[in-house]
Structures are given as structure tokens and as C-alpha cells.
Amino acid sequence: MGKNPICEMLHIDYPVFQGGMAWIADAELAAAVSNAGGLGLIAAMNSNGEQLREQIRRAKTLTDRPFGVNLMLMSPFIAEAVRVVCEEKIPVVTTGAGNPQQYMNDLKAAGVKVICVVASVTLAVMVERMGASAVIAEGCESGGHVGETTTMALVPQVVDAVSIPVIAAGGIADGRGMAAALLLGAQGIQMGTRFLTAKECNVHANYKAKVIAAKDRDTIVTGKTLGHPVRALKNRMTRAFAEKEHDPNTTPGELEAMGAGALRRAAIEGDVQNGSCMCGQIAGLVRTEDSCSDIVRGICADAKKLLGAGTAQALLP
């Protein structure tokens, strides 16, 4: 039996995280992934303290395994979210969209492990200095907000630059992707797109169908001119956004207004033409709706086979 530092640190069976996904990663999905032996994460997004507490309490009724919360650092309710995470004794948070410095002391004092999503070596080194327990190196193949470096290039460079464990994210959806990530030096993986079509994922059926139908070139990155690029499936909304974005008469305010509420429109209302279907490039590999248990266990079993007994034993539990 090998020892995997992520599994040891978080008391989970498989080093597989379900990425926080605003409007999508709710108590049901997080609990299902944690019950499967991975790490489920509730997306705090812009929820206020009480809305987040409700999701956490619900997840606690669905699983007695560890699960975490994904904190969106730019949320207007971030201070409340941090307080609720500490009060509810959540063992681990992942952080995205900002600098976690301000909340690091409170979280650590409450015994919460802080794992930061990073898209560059500089940020990885910075959060390690701040006291992060691990980093999630997320390549630009991923769905949602993206950086500029691919997973293949980013992961080994982050691995070389920090001494805390690295979790690879972006473009991983099967055992081959996991095995590759581990060989690049990561000690675990995080997936978002693969979990969009999980049976326990409550995203609207139209969204799931669009992910399942997607091919390799069906995503596009928009929002670069605003400074926060987002990868989503191509549709009427992304076409209109891209057109506006390249029109010199468009103001940033107009673009912000176009993007507001767009993920909710697709994920909750099912308007997959006028909403934003955030999704990664690996969608072309996601063909079926599977249970979280089949996803987590299947991927780890396949990765083990590919790595061969010796390597797998050194890298996986």
C-alpha cells in the first residue's frame, strides 16, 4: 500500500478532487464525491453566510466523509463565508479568484487546510509562503476562469518550484490524464468538466447534454479584454460576446453586463444558447453520465493499470 500525501493530509481514499463550480457544485455533488472516497467541494461562489451554512449542513446529512468548500475570494460575502467555514469545522478549503492572504490566519487558526488554485509558478510560490497546505495547478484547458499556461507545461514547473503537494487540474477526465498528471509530479487531480455529467450533478439536463455532445474544439475563451478570461462551450452567447469584445466601441461595463448571471442562466434555467456553459476542452472525452463512485474509482483503477504496479504503489494509495 503506497502513501499518497494528499490522501494522508485529508483522510480521503483517492487523491481526486471535484472542482468547485459556481451554481453547480452543491451539497449533493460534494457529498457524492466524498462518499466515493474523493474530495467533494461545495462552491461558495457569491453565497452569503447563511446560504453557505445551509449547503454545508445538508452535505453533513449526506456524508460522514470529509468534504471541503471552494471559496471565491472576490465574493462580496467572503468574510462571512470564511467565518461559517471555521464555525462548521470544515477541514479544507480551496481558494480561487484572488489573494487569500487576508483570510489565511483565521482559517489556519481554526484548523482549516488552505489549498489554493494557481495558474502560474509565481502565484504558487507566493501562496506556499503564505502557508498554503497544497496548490492546485490549473492549466488553461480547464472550464471556467482560466490562465494562460497549459496543464502539461504548468504542472512540472509548479512541482519544481514548491515543496508542498501539487494537485493537477485542467484537461483531465480519465485514467490516462490522471496517470500523466502523476508522472508530471502531481500528487492528485482535480476535475470539473468530468463531474458536470455525473449522475449526482444537479446542473440542468440541457447543459449535461451539451457537454456530452461536445467535440474537442467546441470551447472558446472570452473575456480576455476584461482581464478575466473564461472558457465555455461555443453558443449564441459566446458568439455575441466575442463580437462585442472586439468592437472598439464596446465599454467594459457593457461586457460585464453581458456576462452577469450567464452561468446561472445555463446551469439552473437550462438556457444553453444565451447562458454561459463553462466547460473544459476535455469535454470531447466525456461521453456518458456516470455515478461519482464510478468516476472516482474507475479513473484511479485505470491510472494504476497504466502506471504499472511499481509506480502506482509509490504514487497512489
Give me the residues that bind ligand FMN (CB under 6 A), please: 19-22, 24, 43, 45, 70, 72, 96, 117, 138, 141-144, 169-172, 190-194, 278-280, 282
For 55-59, the CB contacts below 8 A with 24+ separation are 55/26, 55/27, 56/27, 56/84, 56/85, 56/88, 56/90, 57/88, 58/27, 58/28, 59/27, 59/30, 59/31, 59/34
CB of 232 to ligand FMN, least distance (A): 8
**What is the smallest separation between the CB atom of 41 and ligand FMN, expressed in angstroms?**
8
Closer to ligand FMN at the Cβ: 66 or 313? 66
Q: Among residues 264 and 313, whose Cβ is nearest to ligand FMN?
A: 264
Q: Which is nearer to ligand FMN, 154 or 307 (CB)?
A: 154
Return the sign of the alpha-carbon dihedral for residues 163, 164, 168, 169. negative
| Cβ at position 172, least distance to ligand FMN in Å | 6
Q: How far is the CB of 284 from ligand FMN (least distance, A)?
A: 11
Smallest separation (angstroms) from ligand FMN to the CB of 247: 27
| Cβ-based nearer residue to ligand FMN, 259 or 311 | 259
Packing angle, helices 292-315 and 27-35, rounded to 10: 50
Q: Output the DSSP codes for 5-40.
A: HHHHHHT-SS-EEEPP-TTT--HHHHHHHHHTTSBE
DSSP state of 226: G
285 vs 313, beta carbon nearer ligand FMN: 285
> Cα-Cα-Cα-Cα dihedral of 79, 203, 224, 234, to 10°?
-170
Q: Cα dist. 293→27, 167, 203, 290 in Å?
A: 16, 20, 18, 8
CB of 53 to ligand FMN, least distance (A): 18
Cβ-proximal residue to ligand FMN, closest one: 192
Q: Which is nearer to ligand FMN, 185 or 313 (CB)?
A: 185
Closest approach of Cβ 64 to ligand FMN, in Å? 24
The nearer residue to ligand FMN, 35 or 151, going by C-beta atoms, is 151
d(CA 272, CA 295): 25
Greatest Cα pair distance in the chain? 61
